Amino acid sequence: MSFLLILNITLLLLVLFSVTLSSSSSSSTEFVYNRNFNSTNINIYGNATIQNSILTLTNQTFFSIGRAFYPQKLPTKQNKNSSIFLPFATSFIFSISPCKNFPVAHGFAFIFSPSMVINGALSGNYLGLFNRSSSGDDSNHVFAVEFDDFRNEEFEEVNDNHVGVDLNSMISKYSEPAEFWGGKNGEKLEKLKLSSGENYQVWIEFRDFEINVTMAPAGKRKPKKPLISKPINFSRVFLDEMYVGFSGSTGKMVDTCRILAWSFSHSNFSIGDALNTKHLPNYVNPKKFMYKSKVFIICVIFGLVLVFGCCSLVLFILMRIRKEEKEGEFEDWELEYWPHKISYKEICDGTGGFCEENVIGIGTSGKVYKGVLKGGEEVAVKRFNHDTQHGMRGFLAEISSLGRMKHRNLLGFKGWSKGKGGKLILVYDYMENESLDKRIFECEETKLLNWEQRIRVLENVASGVLYLHEGWEFEVLHRDIKASNVLLDKYMNARIGDFGLARLQHQELVTDTTRVVGTLGYMAPELVKVGKPSTATDVYSFGILVLEVVCGRRPIVMDEPPLVELVLSLMEKGELSNAVDERLKRQIECKYNIVVAERLLHLGLLCASFDPCVRPTMRQVVKALEGVKCTECNEECVHVSLIRKVNSAASWSKSSTDSARVNFPTLDDILPYKYFSGDSLSVSCFSVEPISDSLSEGR
Model confidence over 9-31: pLDDT tens digits? Answer: 555 554 444 433 334 444 578 99
Distance of CA 52 to the CA centre of its chain: 63
Indicate the pLDDT class of residue 34, thresholds 50, 70 and 90: very high
Residue 368 confidence (pLDDT) above 70? yes
Q: Do residues 236 and 257 lie in contact, with contact meaning Cβ atoms separated by under 8 Å?
A: no
Which of 242-256, 356-370, 514-528 tops mean pLDDT? 242-256
Candidates 244, 278, 276; CA nearest to 261 is: 276
Residue 219 confidence (pLDDT) above 50? yes
- The phi-psi region of residue 656 (left if phi > 0; otherwise alpha if psi is between -120 and 50; otherwise beta) is alpha
Could you say which of 148, 160, 255, 480 is catalytic? 480
Indicate the pLDDT class of residue 504, thresholds 50, 70 and 90: very low
Candidates 638, 467, 449, 444; CA nearest to 538 is: 467
CA 204/CA 166 separation, integer angstroms: 13
Which of 255-259, 528-532, 663-667, 681-685 tops mean pLDDT? 255-259
Looking at residue 466, what is its pLDDT? 95
Residue 480 designated active-site: yes
Residue 6 confidence (pLDDT) above 70? no
Looking at residue 156, what is its pLDDT? 85
Looking at residue 629, what is its pLDDT? 65
Indicate the pLDDT class of residue 547, thresholds 50, 70 and 90: very high
Looking at residue 232, what is its pLDDT? 94
Count CB atoms within 10 A of the CB of residue 530.
15
Candidates 29, 98, 470; CA nearest to 271 is: 29
Q: DSSP label at 410?
A: B
Q: Do residues 142 and 130 lie in contact, with contact meaning Cβ atoms separated by under 8 Å?
A: yes
367 has which bridge partners?
A: 362, 383
pLDDT digits (tens, 9 = 90+) for 305-353: 999 999 999 998 888 777 666 655 555 555 555 556 788 888 999 999 8
Residue 212 confidence (pLDDT) above 60? yes
Query: Which residues lie below 8 Å from residue 18, measured CB to CB, with a gap of 6+?
Result: none
Output 693 or 279, whichever has higher pLDDT. 279
Output 609 or 396, whichever has higher pLDDT. 609
CA distances from 194 to 105, 148, 162, 257, 440 (A): 10, 8, 8, 10, 82
Average pLDDT over every residue of 249-268 = 93
Indicate the pLDDT class of residue 290, thresholds 50, 70 and 90: very low
pLDDT digits (tens, 9 = 90+) for 426-441: 888 899 988 899 999 9
pLDDT digits (tens, 9 = 90+) for 581-591: 999 888 877 77
Looking at residue 396, what is its pLDDT? 63
Q: Is 440 exposed, middle or buried (0-12, 13-18, 19+ CB in 10 A)?
A: buried
Looking at residue 80, what is its pLDDT? 79
Cis peptide before 106 (omega within 30 of 0): yes
Concatenating the DSSP letter of every residue in 247-314 gives EEE-SSS-EEEEEEEEEEESS-TTGGGGS--SS----SPPPPPGGGSHHHHHHHHHHHHHHHHHHHHH
CA 210/CA 230 separation, integer angstroms: 6
Output 672 or 455, whichever has higher pLDDT. 455
Indicate the pLDDT class of residue 188, thresholds 50, 70 and 90: confident
Dihedral (CA of 31, 36, 41, 45) sign: positive
Supply the mean pLDDT for the chain: 80
Which of 67-71, 152-156, 497-501, 677-681 tops mean pLDDT? 67-71
pTM, whole model, 2 decimals?
Answer: 0.49
Looking at residue 14, what is its pLDDT? 47
Looking at residue 506, what is its pLDDT? 42
Output 404 or 435, whichever has higher pLDDT. 435
pLDDT digits (tens, 9 = 90+) for 41-71: 999 999 999 998 999 999 989 999 999 999 9
Indicate the pLDDT class of residue 120, thresholds 50, 70 and 90: confident
Indicate the pLDDT class of residue 683, thresholds 50, 70 and 90: very low
Which of 62-76, 352-366, 521-535 tops mean pLDDT? 62-76
Looking at residue 695, what is its pLDDT? 27
Q: Do residues 147 and 109 lie in contact, with contact meaning Cβ atoms separated by under 8 Å?
A: yes
Looking at residue 474, what is its pLDDT? 80
Among residues of the chain, what percentage have pLDDT more than 70?
77
